[in-house]
Amino acid sequence: QKAQIGVTGLATMGRNLARNLARRGHTVAVHNRTAARTKALVEEFGHEGTFVPAETAEEFVAALERPRRLVVMVKAGAATDAVIDEFAPLLEPGDMIVDGGNAHFADTRRREAALRERGVHFVGAGISGGEEGALNGPSIMPGGPAESYEALGPLLESIAANVDGVPCVTHIGPDGAGHFVKMVHNGIEYADMQLIAESYDLLRHAAGLSPAEIAEVFRTWNTGRLESYLIEITAEVLAHTDAATGEPFVDVVLDRAEQKGTGRWTVQTALDLGVPVGGIAEAVFARSVSGHADLREAARDLPGPAREATKDAAFADAVERALYASKIVAYAQGFHQIQAASAEYGWDVDLGAVATIWRGGCIIRARFLDRIRAAYEADPRTVTLLTDGYFAEALAEAQDAWRGVVATAARLGIPTPGFSSALAYYDSLRAERLPAALTQGQRDFFGAHTYRRVDREGAFHTLWSDGRREVEA
Ligand code: 2AM
């Protein structure tokens, strides 16, 4: 019996994905560079379904029905290229290699182009949901040639998370579109986590609540419009007590956040595309600041205001509004980035479909995403989510509280880069005039970079050291 699909790379993610496929009734060929892992998988989980273990690449390829569907679950980077180089010569036109790792979309574009020449479909598929998601239902973002989805889609739909009967997988777009969208998913995840962290910091130091009390606040929020996986686990983490010391867990964890790089890629790519994603950037920088022990040590004694906590019940409600408004901004920025890349690379990404498949399985899964789906469904050409009817109203309703929270944070010396930059973005987009006019004047003064006028077409330069006459450039 031939296998419908094969998985090579059987570390935790690969193993769980293979088990998920087998549990759904598919025959799964399994392979790993080190054969011991393959053996261990079959020994431990063989009873869950039908696995076809393969020791060599040749055996593995021979075990697959055609068109061959070969899923690669190795560490992104050189390992992916090594595995592709090993398998590509054994494949035939119409077969496909699915890279389920966290590859950079530019690498995916390169690999797709190279394999296309051999007639092999290369599908860069973002997979979100971590180990648990891989096993029980992730959100899957496959890119690559549209026709590859005909043979691959039904298999992926059978293992993906499911919300209201809709599987959390869709063909995102050609070549690197899937990995790009996964990258932005992670960037948004960074922003969401940072906003939640700022909310905690404010509740702790401005409202004077204990971690256990804040856990309760988050639990309450999780019954409303903020309902999401990240809010849910935040309550769990805050409610946890360290066994060794009896202290709140959050107080015994070193406050230096680490990162594996997809947030950074999101911001780097946004800079290249010229898309303002301040919320994601601030989240990446906030982790970076936290990790600079030297800077923080050097600056520890700089003066600031006393943090007098006010026990004010209304404050938690204001923070909820500020969090919701800032979250809208962060998602609007992330979707703008996908929209811009889609235009740049000709991907034709359906933004509503992206929101739909993020409703379940992935780390940013949330009730909120259904609102984004609805916004793009109502108007696929939405320029920014901020102006969608529902979101515009939510922002209008939140803005007084949002401004109050940012002002309180500034007054008390509590850093809120996420909240503050989100509000600045909102106010920048709203502004009738931005001081960018002055920036243009300065650029023209020192570098003759020219400017445009509000009242006439054309580019102009003022002869700043020659009577300040204006000339057409
Ligand atoms: P291993 O068990 O033989 O180390 C995560 O590291 C997964 O990627 C593991 O399954 C690992 O195989 C695999 N892997 C890492 N580098 C690889 C390479 N160059 N070729 C094939 N598989 C690799």
DSSP letter at 64 equals: B
Closest Cα partner for 160 from 125, 190, 188, 194? Answer: 125
Q: Distance from the CA of 57 to the center of ligand 1, in angstroms? A: 13
Band of the pLDDT at 311, cuts 50, 70, 90? low
Residue 9 in contact with ligand 1 by CB distance below 6 A = yes
Atom index in ligand 1 nearest the CA of residue 79 equals 19
Instruction: List, as one string, the DSSP characters of 184-202.
Output: HHHHHHHHHHHHHHHHHHH
Band of the pLDDT at 309, cuts 50, 70, 90? confident
Q: Which pLDDT score, from 0 to 100, does residue 227 have? A: 97
Residue 280 in contact with ligand 1 by CB distance below 6 A = no
Percent of the chain that is helix, strand, coil (3-state, to 5) = 55, 10, 30
pLDDT tens by residue, 15-69: 999 999 999 999 999 999 999 999 999 999 999 999 999 999 999 999 999 999 9
Q: Distance from the CA of 33 to the center of ligand 1, in angstroms? A: 6
Residues annotated catalytic, as ranges: 182, 189
Residue 82 in contact with ligand 1 by CB distance below 6 A = yes
Tell me the mean pLDDT in the region 449-456.
Answer: 98
Q: Which pLDDT score, from 0 to 100, does residue 429 have? A: 98
User: Would the pTM of this model clear 0.80, i.e. be above it?
Assistant: yes
Ligand 1 pocket mutation, candidates 74, 84, 85, criterion most atoms within 8 A of CB: 74
**Mean pLDDT of all residues belonging to the chain:** 97
Residue 77 in contact with ligand 1 by CB distance below 6 A = no
| CB 386, CB 426: distance < 8 Å | yes
Closest Cα partner for 280 from 327, 319, 349, 234? Answer: 327
Whose Cα sits closest to atom 22 in ligand 1?
33
pLDDT tens by residue, 70-85: 999 999 999 999 999 9
* Distance in angstroms (rounded) separating the CA atoms of residues 385 and 372: 7
CA angle 105, 111, 113 (to 5 degrees): 105
Q: Distance from the CA of 60 to the center of ligand 1, in angstroms? A: 15
Q: Distance from the CA of 48 to the center of ligand 1, in angstroms? A: 24
Atom index in ligand 1 nearest the CA of residue 78 equals 19
Tell me the mean pLDDT in the region 283-312.
Answer: 93
Ligand 1 pocket mutation, candidates 8, 10, 12, 33, criterion most atoms within 8 A of CB: 33
Q: Distance from the CA of 98 to the center of ligand 1, in angstroms? A: 16
* Distance in angstroms (rounded) separating the CA atoms of residues 84 and 74: 11
pLDDT tens by residue, 123-146: 999 999 999 999 999 999 999 999
pLDDT tens by residue, 262-284: 999 999 999 999 999 999 999 99
Atom index in ligand 1 nearest the CA of residue 11 equals 10
Atom index in ligand 1 nearest the CA of residue 33 equals 3
* Distance in angstroms (rounded) separating the CA atoms of residues 422 and 280: 10
Band of the pLDDT at 158, cuts 50, 70, 90? very high
Q: Distance from the CA of 49 to the center of ligand 1, in angstroms? A: 24
Q: Which pLDDT score, from 0 to 100, does residue 310 have? A: 77
* Distance in angstroms (rounded) separating the CA atoms of residues 319 and 432: 28
221-259 in b/e form (b: 16+ CB < 10 A) is bbeeebebbbbbebbeebbeeeeeeeebbbeeeeeebee
| CB 96, CB 123: distance < 8 Å | yes
DSSP letter at 48 equals: G
pLDDT tens by residue, 187-244: 999 999 999 999 999 999 999 999 999 999 999 999 999 999 999 999 999 999 999 9
Residue 262: phi and psi, rounded to 5, are: -70, -30
Instruction: List, as one string, the DSSP characters of 216-258.
Output: HHHHHHTTTTT-BHHHHHHHHHHH-B-TTT-SBHHHHS-S---
Residue 101 in contact with ligand 1 by CB distance below 6 A = no
Question: Given its phi and psi angles, is residue 124 left (phi above 0), alpha (psi -120 to 50 degrees) or beta?
Answer: beta
